[in-house]
């Protein structure tokens, strides 16, 4: 991201396109959007009516998530939600929703950053959410991490362990696709940690 792109955004330099999401209008710049988003690059280079239009209407359902992605397109910064202030399940949902939005708009740098942040969390929790949200890269990395270290795998604290069991009940797909992993982790969680 160049200083010039960020400056365009901050100073509200005359825009050449308006993005409409619900009732909200975002003034933007085709050159910046095209440079940072594969979605907009394809949109503006196609022969569609939207390619030449001054207004682009998006059928985005989550305005706040889209705003985060749009801000990232301009300034390379975003707020990765942490579990220090809110429930870990809510945090995971917010981050996975942001990841899906970034994937949809093909903002590859943001996708990569979010995935790297999510890999720092408990792999069992990430695996459950990755299966629910169908994020193959995180399914693979979490599964590999858990399988590589099955004897030394220790989640951060009891809250994670309890939440993991609750998540597995809500998303039973893990039990069906990874039965040996499910048995190993469930045994470890129930006997080692909950017997205290």
Statement to judge: residues 57 and 119 lie in one domain: no
Give the lowest-confidence range in 31-35, 41-45, 82-86: 82-86
Query: According to the model, what pLDDT value does residue 149 have?
Result: 66
By percentage, how much of the chain surpasses pLDDT 70?
64
Statement to judge: residues 157 and 187 lie in one domain: yes
Over residues 139-194, the pLDDT tens digits come to 999 888 877 765 444 445 455 656 666 666 666 666 666 666 666 666 655 554 44
pLDDT averaged over every residue in the chain: 77
Q: Over 60: is that where the pLDDT of 138 sits?
A: yes
Is 117 domain-assigned?
A: yes
Q: Over 70: is that where the pLDDT of 105 sits?
A: yes
pTM exceeding the 0.75 threshold for the entire prediction: no
Residue 38's domain comprises 1-65
Is 13 domain-assigned?
A: yes
Two tokens at 22?
């619900």
Statement to judge: residues 24 and 55 lie in one domain: yes
Over residues 42-73, the pLDDT tens digits come to 988 877 776 778 899 999 889 999 999 999 99
The number of C-alpha atoms within 13 Å of 52 and in the hemisphere containing its C-beta is 3
Statement to judge: residues 24 and 58 lie in one domain: yes
- DSSP-assigned letters across all residues of 76-127: S------TTTS-HHHHHHHHHHHHHHHHHTT-HHHHHHHHHHHTTS-HHHHH
State how many domains the chain has: 2
Query: According to the model, what pLDDT value does residue 178 have?
Result: 63
CATH number, domain with residue 42: 3.30.710.10
Statement to judge: residues 175 and 139 lie in one domain: yes
Is 34 domain-assigned?
A: yes
Is 15 domain-assigned?
A: yes
């Amino acid at each position: 991201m160049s200083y010039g792109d960020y400056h365009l955004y901050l100073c509200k330099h005359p825009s050449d396109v308006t993005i409409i999401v619900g009732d909200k209008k975002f003034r933007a710049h085709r050159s910046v959007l095209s440079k940072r988003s594969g979605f907009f690059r394809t949109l503006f280079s196609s022969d569609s009516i939207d390619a030449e239009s001054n207004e682009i209407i998006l059928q985005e359902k989550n305005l706040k998530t889209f705003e985060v992605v749009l801000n990232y397109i301009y300034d390379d910064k975003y707020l990765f939600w942490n579990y220090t202030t809110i429930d870990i399940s809510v945090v995971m949902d917010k981050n996975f929703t942001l990841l899906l939005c970034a994937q949809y708009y093909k903002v590859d740098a943001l996708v990569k950053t979010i995935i790297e942040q999510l890999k720092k969390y408990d792999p069992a929790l990430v695996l459950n959410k990755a299966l629910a949200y169908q994020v193959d890269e995180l399914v693979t990395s979490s599964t590999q991490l858990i399988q590589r270290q099955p004897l030394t795998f220790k989640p951060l604290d009891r809250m994670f362990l309890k939440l993991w069991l609750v998540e597995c009940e809500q998303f039973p797909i893990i039990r069906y696709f990874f039965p040996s992993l499910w048995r190993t982790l469930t045994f470890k969680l129930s006997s080692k940690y909950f017997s205290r």
